[in-house]
Amino acid sequence: MPERVRMILEGGEVAATIDDSPTGGAVRAALPLEGIVSRWGEEIYFSIPVKVEEAPDARQEMAVGELGFWPVGSAFCIFWGPTPASSGPLPRAYSNVNPFGKIEGPMDAAAALLSRAEDGQKIRVESSTKAGD
């Protein structure tokens, strides 16, 4: 079952959903997660204690608001715009990532918060599912 999560940064939080894929399941099982922000264009990534092989649907071309797991670096990735590897307005990962979720709600507000994040800041990802949901 997909799980709603909160990605908490300095100054606010972004809601997202983690899907039912094997990668999503591995990430959900590791919640809550804490990490240190690294920026690469309009992508945040941070190492997490999850080991998952590259999935059959792994890819570099990502959608705005998509979450991915980078198997090479065991990293949780949040994409909201172009990266240095992009050739247009859409995000492109450095190498294949396993898509496993997406940002919910207004993308403008999420992008504004994510854009303010700087290298070295803390990020926390936790379940936002409440009892009875």
The domain segmentation of the chain, as residue ranges, is: 3-127
Three-state secondary structure string covering the chain: CCEEEEEEECCEEEEEEECCCHHHHHHHHHCCEEEECEECCCEEEEECCCCCCCCCCCEEECCCCEEEEECCCCEEEEECCCCCCCCCCCCEEEEEEEEEEEECCCHHHHHHHHHHCCCCCEEEEEECCCCCC
pTM tops 0.85: yes
Does pLDDT of 74 surpass 60?
Answer: yes
CATH of domain 3-127: 2.40.100.20
Give CA–CA dist 67/77, Å, rounded.
6
Mean pLDDT over 121-132 rounds to 81
Mean pLDDT over 51-58 rounds to 97
Residues 76-120: tens digit of each pLDDT: 999 999 999 999 999 999 999 999 999 999 999 999 999 999 999
